Structures are given as C-alpha cells and as structure tokens.
Amino acid sequence: MTYDEILTKYEPVIGLETHVELGTRTKMFCGCKTDFGAEPNTQVCPVCLALPGALPVANRAGIEATIRIGLALNCDIAEWCRMARKNYFYPDMPKNFQTSQYDEPLCTEGYVDVTVDGKEYRIGIERVHLEEDTGKTLHVGGATGRIHGATESLVDYNRAGIPLVEIVTKPVPGLGTLAPEIAKAYVAELRDIVRSLGVSDVRMEQGSMRCDVNTSLNLPGEEWGTRTETKNVNSLRSVERAVRSEIIRQAGILDEGGKIFQETRHFQETTGDTRPGRSKETATDYRYFPEPDLVPIAPDPAWVATLRDSLPEKPSSKRARLRLDWGISEIDMQSVANAGAVELIEETIAAGASPAGARKWWMGELARRANEQDVDLAAVGATPAQVAALQKLVDAGKLNDKLARNVLEGVVAGEGDPADVMIKRGLEVVNDTGALTAAVDEAIAANPDIAAKIRDGKVAAAGALVGAVMKTTRGQADAKTVRDLILSRLGVS
Ligand SMILES: [Zn+2]
C-alpha cells in the first residue's frame, strides 16, 4: 500500500513529548555552571553528583522559565505542586533517580494553534513539567560509538542537573495524511514560542530541544491502537519523517494480521526509518513518589500575573505583522517561518537592507547552502549584518547578482565581511570606462559582421557583443553600461 492508501484504511493518532533544556546560568538544584562544551566533570558538586547528605535547593529562574512557557502555551499554572522522584538506574544519572514531576505538574491544559496548508489545527497541551537532565555516557574503543564493541565507557556529569522542561501534548487524532506535516509544524511553532521567551536557545541539532514522537494506527470506529514512541528526533525534518515512516511500518504489520508492541524506537537519520529500542516501561516501573528533600512549589498568583503580563508578542502575531510590513503572501511567510528565517530577515532589514533584498538572500542562496550542508539557516556562516552589507554593495552598483553570489560564498567560507571579500577576490564591478571601452573596442574588432548589423539599426544584435565583453571582464562589468557603450561606439545612440 502507498502512504495515501494506508490513510484511507487506518486513522493515525500522534502525540509529542518535547524536552527543552533551559538556558539558566546555573543548574536546577545546585549552583554549578551550565556552560556548554566545558571540560568533562568540571561543572559538578556534591549535590549534582548525589554525594551522601547533599541537599538540593530549587533554582527560582528554572521555575520562572517553566511558568512562562506554560503561560505562553495557554496553560493553567498550579498554585501548589511538588517535585517527584522517578526511579530508574542509568550510569549517567548519578542519583539513580531523576528529580521530575509526576501527578502534580506545574502547568496543565494548554494549547498551540498551527497552520498547515492554510488550515488551522489546535494541538492540546496536556502538561508542562520541570525536571533535570542526566549526564552523558561516551562509549570508546568500538567502531560505532555505541556500547556494542566498546572497550570502555566514560561518563561526563556536567549536564546532570541542568533544568529540563517537558512539554506533552494530548493525543491528536483525526489528522489523516497531514499528520507528519502537522507534527512538524507543531514542533516548529513550539520552538518559536520558547525562543521568543528567551529561556532556551532551542537548538535541535545541539540537543537543547529534543522530541519524542508517539504514533499509533486504528481502523475507523475502533479503539486507538497500541502506540510506539520514537526517541530523540533531532530536527524538524526528522519529526515529519519519523511520523510518516512509523505509520507505514505499523500499517505493514497490521495488514498482515500482526500486533504492534508498546516500545521505544530510535529514529535513523540515514535511512529515515525507526529501529526497535527497549520495551517501554510503564509509570509503575518508575515507582514515583513525592521528593522529600524539596519544599513544594507554590507560586504567588500575583507573581504569575506579572509573568503573564510580561509575555512577549506571540510568534504567530509577529509573523502576521511582519508579513504586512514586508508585503508578502501568507504562503511566502509560511515558507520563511518553516525555514527558520523570520528573525534573520528581520535583523537584516534592521541592518539596512530592503525586505525584498533580505528575503532574497536568506530564502535563496543561503537556504540552498543550509540545505546542502544539513544545518540550520542561522548556522550557515553569514550574519544578518553581512547580508545587509552585501545587498548594499549590489544597490550601489558595485556588485551584480552573479558577483554578489561569489562574494557571499567567500563570506560563508569565513573570508570576512562582504566588502573585504569583494576586494580580496577582486570581484568589484568594472566601472572604469577606459578599461571597459578597450574591451568593447576589442569585441567590435573581433566581430565585424555583428558590428555592421548594429550600425544598420539591428540593435538587438548588440547582445552578442555584450556577451563577449562580459567574458573578457569575467562577468565583472555592468551589462547595461556595456550595452550603452557598444551602441555609442558604433554611433547608434
Ligand atoms: Zn552541582
């Protein structure tokens, strides 16, 4: 069966659990720093290493950030709740339990609206809760970096205890063939909302935002099927691919009369399908109980009201406002948002480029490069200020389009700002009339037949001479100037 055929027979139900690593200066329950990329095991202390007798104290900034995320997702904020111990045994978790939340989450009952193909879908948010991250295990000596074949395993506890917020949707039925696209649109919108709050850098490729995708299939009118959970899907594109491939895999099994088992699966970036992981624990396996070492969280309603009043403009409202400012269609704005280019274009305009000029570079040449290198647009190697400077050189007639692309290539390669690259690579448009006139005269002398035609009034034939001049100047002449010069040298204008 093709994907479309599968969805005439089965109905998918999806659900998403997203972990966001907060950008607090210190960890959630101790004063250790959270700098990314520090020497292993240098940002640790008795609390986050769980040495005997160490006692945790909650980080107010972590609680505040979680409440702000909850408010931005239209949630109710608990007036009183507790942290809970989630018991499981992992070498990269020093306490051998995770301080998390269970039946008393900080935020509940919210929603996010997303637009796909011009239609709005409301994704219900079941809960937003606060927990801590684990450390990292590195398996060495093997070929694959996995534990299989490794000779030793090293543990880095720098990440252990960094605050994580988990955002869990309600199950979303009724999306049909659009389920993968809507899942991706939801994660993109969530990322934009969290980024607008300034509480996390939400970089999926660095793991500060990670997504687990639940998928099940059922026949129309029947109960929801058994779901699988695809873990740690690390890009927007992978969210879409993971849902689609899991729908296809499950349909294949169900069609042969097989059963779906509740399990975690791992998304394979290379093939786009999922592989089985461990069979899924249920809540009882974790033996949750209220954390006895921390006081309950009881945010003052007046404080919550202040946080609510200070929320930034919603990304969706901002997009609507910018769309009018930039004078583009809703579909074009949607592609800008999907490419993660809204802020980049906004900053490029603020640095002096026109909306059309800014959008052209980010959505054209730079988007193509980002796609080729499989990186986010923001990580492609050019800054908004550089793109604005490039466009100014074009506007000033110092670069034509082709030369500008060449300069941009140098900027992305780290050769410097556009003006420097233009000079270093010798790419400035030739405006020196003496040099151009010599090139024009040479082209006329080499093509007497064409020159005669032009003298007889067949001005359209000038194109061939323009081409010849552009070739000798290696594309560095302005085509219109060349054309005018040819006509004037031949006495036609
Ligand atoms: Zn610590």
Q: How far is the CA of 78 from the centre of ligand 1 (A)?
A: 27
Q: How far is the CA of 207 from the centre of ligand 1 (A)?
A: 21
Question: Quick check: 274 and 246 in contact, CB under 8 A?
Answer: yes
Question: Quick check: 161 and 27 in contact, CB under 8 A?
Answer: yes
**pLDDT value at residue 285:** 82
Residue type, 26: T
CB neighbours of residue 337 within 10 Å: 21
Q: How far is the CA of 17 from the centre of ligand 1 (A)?
A: 27
**pLDDT value at residue 428:** 77
Q: Are strands 228-233 and 263-267 parallel, antiparallel or unpaired?
A: parallel
Q: How far is the CA of 94 from the centre of ligand 1 (A)?
A: 11
Q: How far is the CA of 194 from the centre of ligand 1 (A)?
A: 25
Q: How far is the CA of 42 from the centre of ligand 1 (A)?
A: 10
Q: How far apart are CA 199 and CA 64, in angstroms?
A: 9
**pLDDT value at residue 278:** 67
Q: Decide: residue 354, CB within 10 A, 0-12 exposed, 13-18 middle, 19+ buried.
A: middle
Q: How far is the CA of 44 from the centre of ligand 1 (A)?
A: 4
Q: Decide: residue 117, CB within 10 A, 0-12 exposed, 13-18 middle, 19+ buried.
A: exposed
Q: How far is the CA of 103 from the centre of ligand 1 (A)?
A: 26
Residue type, 117: D
Q: How far is the CA of 58 from the centre of ligand 1 (A)?
A: 12
Q: How far is the CA of 45 from the centre of ligand 1 (A)?
A: 4
> How far is the first Cα of the chain from the last one, in angstroms, to the nearest whole number?
68
Q: How far is the CA of 203 from the centre of ligand 1 (A)?
A: 24
Q: How far is the CA of 231 from the centre of ligand 1 (A)?
A: 27
Q: 141: phi > 0 → left, psi -120 to 50 → alpha, else beta; which? A: left
Q: How far is the CA of 70 from the centre of ligand 1 (A)?
A: 26
pTM for this predicted structure: 0.78
Q: How far is the CA of 208 from the centre of ligand 1 (A)?
A: 19
From first to last of the 493 residues of the chain, give the pLDDT tens digit. Answer: 899 999 999 999 999 999 999 999 999 999 999 998 899 999 999 999 999 999 999 999 999 999 999 999 999 999 999 999 999 888 888 898 999 999 999 999 999 999 888 889 999 999 999 999 999 999 988 887 788 888 999 999 999 999 999 999 999 999 999 999 999 999 999 999 999 999 998 988 788 999 999 999 999 999 999 999 998 888 888 899 999 999 999 999 999 999 998 888 888 877 878 888 766 666 678 899 999 999 999 999 999 999 999 999 999 899 999 999 999 998 899 889 878 899 899 999 999 999 999 999 999 999 999 888 877 788 899 999 999 999 999 998 888 888 899 999 999 999 999 999 988 888 777 767 777 888 888 899 999 999 999 988 888 888 889 998 888 887 778 888 888 889 888 888 6
Nearest to 315 by CA among 285, 284, 343, 286: 343
- Write the secondary structure of the chain as one string of H (helix), E (strand) and C (coil): CCHHHHHHHCEEEEEEEEEEECCCCECCCCCCECCCCCCCCCCCCCCCCCCCCCCCCCCHHHHHHHHHHHHHCCCEECCCECCEEEECCCCCCCCCEEEECCCCCCEEEEEEEEEECCEEEEEEEEEEEEEECCCEEEEECCCCCCCCCCCEEEEECCCCCCEEEEEEECCEECCHHHHHHHHHHHHHHHHHHHHHHCCCCCCHHHCCEEEEEEEEEECCCCCCCCCEEEEEECCHHHHHHHHHHHHHHHHHHHHCCCCCCCEEEEECCCCCCEEEEEECCCHHHHCCEECCCCCCECCCHHHHHHHHHCCCCCHHHHHHHHHHHHCCCHHHHHHHHHCCCHHHHHHHHHCCCCHHHHHHHHHHHHHHHHHHHCCCHHHCCCCHHHHHHHHHHHHCCCCCHHHHHHHHHHHHCCCCCHHHHHHHCCCCCECCHHHHHHHHHHHHHHCHHHHHHHHCCCHHHHHHHHHHHHHHCCCCECHHHHHHHHHHHCCCC
Q: How far is the CA of 160 from the centre of ligand 1 (A)?
A: 8
Q: How far is the CA of 209 from the centre of ligand 1 (A)?
A: 22
CB neighbours of residue 472 within 10 Å: 16
Residue type, 390: L
Neighbours of ion ligand 1 (CB under 5 A): 30, 32, 45, 47-48
Residue type, 163: P
Q: How far is the CA of 30 from the centre of ligand 1 (A)?
A: 5
Q: How far is the CA of 35 from the centre of ligand 1 (A)?
A: 13
Q: How far is the CA of 176 from the centre of ligand 1 (A)?
A: 46
Q: How far is the CA of 436 from the centre of ligand 1 (A)?
A: 68
Nearest to 186 by CA among 219, 209, 220, 217: 209
Q: How far is the CA of 83 from the centre of ligand 1 (A)?
A: 18
- Residue count of the chain, please give it: 493
Q: Are strands 107-116 and 152-156 parallel, antiparallel or unpaired?
A: unpaired
State residue 211 phi and psi, 5-degree precision.
-125, 135
Q: How far is the CA of 172 from the centre of ligand 1 (A)?
A: 39
Q: How far is the CA of 212 from the centre of ligand 1 (A)?
A: 27
Q: How far is the CA of 141 from the centre of ligand 1 (A)?
A: 29
Q: How far is the CA of 33 from the centre of ligand 1 (A)?
A: 8
Label residues 36-49 b or e (16+ Cβ within 10 Å = b). Answer: eeeeeeebbeebbb
Question: Quick check: 483 and 469 in contact, CB under 8 A?
Answer: no
The tokens for 212 are: 């687990």
Q: What does R_g of the chain's alpha carbons equal in angstroms?
A: 29
CB neighbours of residue 194 within 10 Å: 26
Q: How far apart are CA 191 and CA 204, in angstroms?
A: 9
CB neighbours of residue 479 within 10 Å: 15
Q: How far apart are CA 378 and CA 384, in angstroms?
A: 9
